[in-house]
Structure 1
Amino acid sequence: MSPPAGIRAAAFGAHPGAAVRVRPGMSGADRWLVAVTLGGQGRYAAAAAVLDDLLTAPGVPPAVAAHAAVTLAAHRRQLGGHAVARRLDAVGLRLAAAAPPGPPDPDGADASAARIDALTGLAADAVGTGAVGPAQRLLDTAAAAAERRPSWRPAVRLGWVRAELALLRSDAAAAVAPARTALELAEESGSVRHVLKSRIVHAVARGVAGGDPGEVLAELDSAADDAGRAGLLSLVWPARYAAADVIENAPNGVWTANESAARTAQRSVNGRTSGAPRRRHAGTATVSVILGRCDPVGRRLMREALGLPALLPVT
């Protein structure tokens, strides 16, 4: 499982917005990395087509099929489909258990990492449905497995879900440390996509934990801008919505004082959106683009999760 450097850099490195596609003769591992990249770009229909083929085509190694199931689960979960994701993560866990052990992969593309990813995904599914106890048990199992086969990527994902579970428990202070650890690991890896998502998770945790609203808002705006420049639409809209939440939930007077620092940027040619309504509008505009890049299942899940009208424009 040693894909060309270009595909690896798109999936887990410095070039997440690279144009990628499945080419004749590509290995299953390479096709999986193409799908990972497409999902990060919000091209969910194209990613699902590749992943579905990896799950159904004969001769695909079990480890690759396991990663395909877990990746499709992650994409469905990103669109709000936790129940759908749970079934796919369970498939991934079974496939990973059936895969022969192999050498560890630095980016977690091996069978052992697929098992950790599946367990972490199941924990995230549990968080999404409010099942605190199962989420904690699954995270504990995933963490124990990760200690035996260390790799930065599964560890980063564990940090995200640990932070999300702490927030579900209304223990925001406990969410900050795992979010910060995930960010540090992602920065060491050089994966732009993982760094940006970790920045968003860390900012949200800090905000809920009582961090300075102006600093949190600036970080979310910056992450959204950076994600847009990197071609990672899957991260733009949650950052925009989270920024709107910060503004709406800021204590009286705090927002007014911190907003003044951003006035100049807001007047620039490509100025930052200002105020909660404008940020929500920017997020919804991105959602509209993503809906146009979804397959019918993904489109339905996203509309249901966000409470979007059936006639929201798809561009």
Structure 2
Amino acid sequence: MTGTLALRSVAAPDAETVAFGAEPGAPVRVRPGSSALERWYVAVALGGQGRYAAAAAVLEPLLVGPGVPVAVAAHAAITLAAHRRQLGGHAAARRYDALGLRLASSVACDPAADLYGSGLLAARVDALVGLAADAVGTGAPASAQRLLDTAESLLRAGGVGGGGWRPTVRLGWVRAELALVRGDAAGAVEPARKALECAQHAGSVRHVLKSRIVFTVAAAVAGTEPAAAVVELDAAAAEAERAGLLPLVWPARLAAADLLERGAGTPSNANDATRTISGESVNDPLDGPARRRHAALAALSVIEERADPLGKRLLGDSGRVSVPPPVM
């Protein structure tokens, strides 16, 4: 080869890899001829990036489209519920989780192994876990407990791998959240740890980062060194930002701010690191909790721009944009 530059064509990752793999921030779109399942992967990836309006535009036709497999329609409803819940709309999410459960329960369940949790068993478990999260958010912990126990029983009945790794991770997240809401921080640590281990084994960057946040918060509230927790939350927020996962940036920043406001200090070397990874100038007048709340608000503002009209209203009603609340 002389006088020319050889260019290597690098294929963009498929939507499945973006949704559940190592490149969660990569661009995705619905390609001509995409199957219903592939469209669901696209919507999951878009939601992970906080592109809720684009995700809803893909998900809503899957609820009513002719020829859409029942399992995919159920997962579409459950995913739409998750996106509504992430914008603060627990009550709005509940109707979609309930729809997902009805759809997933309308036909016989095939317990065959399902890596990414796209089958009927995973949909039933996901719907129950989603309903439990809705119950936690609307102040019904006893109902949440019953739903989680039912979900875990279904998952166990399906056998190893029957529902994939993803429902197991989500079950751990909500069990940890419920324990924290009940004031049982010690009881939150183990399900959070199991969720993290499962996500790490699966290799999904998005699920690992969220599991790290949940586990770190649970461990910190349970008595783990708070300064170390702030460093870990700052690191998770920075990694989420680099990965294009804005829905994980703001809770990590707020959790770190909460810990600092409760008296957690960070070692001097960690201060330097967190200033660098926050993406803000070291001369910024904001510091400590204020710096992190400002970063959280900036992430939420971008998320609001990417939401559909209902999502914008839910986010505004929740107060997260104007006054970000403590996490968990």
Letter in 1 for 2:184: D
Counterpart in the other structure of 2:24: 16
Residue 309 of structure 1: CA displacement? 4.8
Q: Partners of 2:210 and 2:167 in 1: how far apart?
A: 14
Counterpart in the other structure of 2:151: 142
Q: Partners of 1:166 and 1:15 in 2: how far apart?
A: 31
Cα displacement string for residues 25-56 of structure 1 (whole angstroms, at most 9, x for unaligned residues):
10000000000000000000000111101012
Determine what percentage of the aligned residue pairs are the same residue. 61
Cα displacement string for residues 208-258 of structure 1 (whole angstroms, at most 9, x for unaligned residues):
1121111110110000000001110111111111111110112xxx52xx2
Counterpart in the other structure of 1:313: none
Counterpart in the other structure of 1:247: 260
Within a 5 Å distance, the mapping from 1:26-175 to structure 2 comes to: 26-102=34-110, 103-149=112-158, 150=161, 151-175=164-188
Q: Partners of 1:300 and 1:15 in 2: how far apart?
A: 30
Say if 1:106 and 1:152, in contact at 8 Å, map to a contact too: yes
Q: Partners of 2:32 and 2:106 in 1: how far apart?
A: 27
Counterpart pick for 2:216 among 190, 203, 217: 203
Residue 290 of structure 1: CA displacement? 0.5
Cα displacement string for residues 176-196 of structure 1 (whole angstroms, at most 9, x for unaligned residues):
010011000000000000000
Q: Alignment partner of 1:98: what SS?
A: coil
Q: Partners of 2:166 and 2:43 in 1: how far apart?
A: 16
Say if 2:179 and 2:188, in contact at 8 Å, map to a contact too: yes
Residue 99 of structure 1: CA displacement? 3.6
Residue 58 of structure 1: CA displacement? 1.6
Q: Partners of 2:121 and 2:258 in 1: how far apart?
A: 38
Q: Partners of 2:132 and 2:275 in 1: how far apart?
A: 43
Letter in 2 for 1:145: L
Aligned CA distance change for structure 1 residues 234 and 98 (closer, same or farther; 3 Å): same
Q: Partners of 2:271 and 2:228 in 1: how far apart?
A: 15
Letter in 1 for 2:179: A
Q: Partners of 1:193 and 1:268 in 2: how far apart?
A: 22
Counterpart in the other structure of 2:238: 225
When the two structures are superposed, what TM-score results if normalisation uses the length of structure 1?
A: 0.92
Letter in 1 for 2:134: D
Say if 2:250 and 2:299, in contact at 8 Å, map to a contact too: yes
When the two structures are superposed, what TM-score results if normalisation uses the length of structure 2?
A: 0.88
Stretches of structure 1 that go unaligned for 5 or more consecutive residues are 311-315
Say if 2:97 and 2:130, in contact at 8 Å, map to a contact too: yes
Say if 1:63 and 1:99, in contact at 8 Å, map to a contact too: no
Cα displacement string for residues 71-98 of structure 1 (whole angstroms, at most 9, x for unaligned residues):
0000001111000111100000000012
Q: Alignment partner of 2:105: what SS?
A: helix
Q: Alignment partner of 1:29: what SS?
A: helix
Q: Partners of 1:6 and 1:175 in 2: how far apart?
A: 35
Stretches of structure 2 that go unaligned for 5 or more consecutive residues are 1-11, 324-328
Q: Partners of 1:5 and 1:113 in 2: how far apart?
A: 24
Say if 1:176 and 1:202, in contact at 8 Å, map to a contact too: yes
Q: Partners of 1:276 and 1:101 in 2: how far apart?
A: 48
Residue 268 of structure 1: CA displacement? 4.4
Residue 6 of structure 1: CA displacement? 2.0
RMSD, aligned CA = 1.8
Letter in 2 for 1:32: W
Larger proportion of helix:
1
